[in-house]
Amino acid sequence: MVVLEEILVANSVGLLVLIVSMLSKIEIKKERHLSGRIFDGMMMLTFFALILETVTFLLDGKPGTVVHFLQYATNAYLFLASSCVGILWVLFVDIRISRSITRIKRWVKVLSIPYVALIVLIVCDFFGTGIIFSINEQNVYQRGELVILTYAFVFCCYFITLVLANFAVKRNGHIRFFPVHYFVIPSLLGTLVQGMFYGLSAGWLCLSIALLFVQLHISNQNAYEDELSGLYNRKYFVWMVEKLTGSKKDHTIGAIMMDIDRFKSINDEFGHSVGDDAIRSIGWILMNIVTDNTVAFRVGGDEFVILLMDGTEADMEQLCSTINERVSEFNKTEGKPYLLSVSMGYSTSQTVGTSLDHFFHQLDQKMYEQKALRYAKKD
């Protein structure tokens, strides 16, 4: 049985929670990198869903052709929005873990296939097939025989993120600052309750609460991220190296240290805002080349480090070559007022018996040796 008062209260609370989350996000800081934009997308989809879900219940059973169309349109949005939130959640979690645009593009390709199929099924429902849902002659909403597909898709997205998080933690201790289950558990429970008991408006309310949980944790996690480049910061780099070198298991760890050539000249000639853009550009380039076993950091003004787990010298050389190729491609295609170039030095070390100071010293020495050779060739 549908109780409109309960639905109005639940969705009003959901809107209030979401507004608090939005204001908190603005107050803390406006994230400029991709994960922040993905999170904004989830919040906006949920915001409109809370409003439109209330509209669908208010219109349910009301006469009129316009009402009939609105019932189809609003319910179509709700189904597509819930699945889209599931996709965005996968992208959000993955990029928070890997900082890899390449992986995000791969996930988009994979998840867009079932999502496009869902769009096709819902379009068919506009012509009365009733596969996912239908609106009868009295303008009453009814679930379709295959509505379970939409729930299954969302649950799969949540399950994927739990697997990603678990794998990352087992691999190298990543995302200790990002508990994925804080989002998944309330969202999953809300979706289950609403799916099992029609008329209970729990799904979007629980999702808005989950987003607030995530926002609160992001505010803490930002202490380990560099806002300008979108990469991890020096604090997180120090923590990772100390964790690796403090382990009883001996591993090979490779690292590349790099800085932007003549970065001061870019600031002096074009201004600090353009210098900031150069930092963001390097961050974007590195995010596009990191893989499952690499992590990129901005450790200082124009200095960056890439850690490669179990990397050999050949792996280091290949990664340096790839970075130079991407920088060259960037200069040819982006049309910036500056030309980027970087100096790099790499080193490999065993984790047992290595101190953080020694590790940094090796990287600094290798980088400046490479920089000196490069400038000598130009002279």
Residue ending a domain, among 176, 191, 223, is 223
Half-sphere exposure at residue 148, Cβ-oriented, CA atoms within 13 angstroms: 3
| Strand 232-233 to 252-260 pairing | unpaired
Question: Where in the sequence is the domain holding 75, given as residue range(s)?
Answer: 4-223
Residue ending a domain, among 223, 248, 273, is 223
**Pairwise pLDDT comparison (72 vs 352), residue with the higher score:** 72
Asked if 183 and 83 sit in the same domain, the reply is yes
Which pLDDT value is given to residue 157? 95
> Tens digit of pLDDT for each residue in 222-246?
778 887 888 888 888 888 877 777 7
Tokens of 179: 């508990």
User: CA-based angle 77:30:15, to the nearest 5?
Assistant: 40
Which pLDDT value is given to residue 31? 46
Asked if 15 and 163 sit in the same domain, the reply is yes
Average pLDDT on 301-324 reads: 87
pTM of the model: 0.70
Asked if 62 and 201 sit in the same domain, the reply is yes
9: domain CATH number is 1.20.1070
Mean of per-residue pLDDT scores for the chain = 83
Query: Look-up: residue for tokens 């496009």?
Result: 116
Helices (H), the chain: 4-28, 34-59, 65-98, 101-125, 148-172, 181-196, 203-221, 234-245, 263-270, 272-287, 313-333, 356-378
Which pLDDT value is given to residue 30? 45
Asked if 329 and 210 sit in the same domain, the reply is no
CB atoms within 10 A of CB 213: 17
Half-sphere exposure at residue 273, Cβ-oriented, CA atoms within 13 angstroms: 0
**Inter-residue contact 45 to 207 (CB < 8 Å):** no
Asked if 206 and 282 sit in the same domain, the reply is no
Total domain count, the chain: 2
Asked if 42 and 161 sit in the same domain, the reply is yes
Rounded CA gap, 51 and 38, in Å?
21
For residue 121, give every residue at least 6 positions away whose Cβ sits within 8 Å of its Cβ, in sequence order, or none: 129, 131, 132, 146, 149
Asked if 209 and 306 sit in the same domain, the reply is no
Residue ending a domain, among 223, 247, 280, is 223
Asked if 240 and 287 sit in the same domain, the reply is yes
For residue 146, the SS3 value is coil
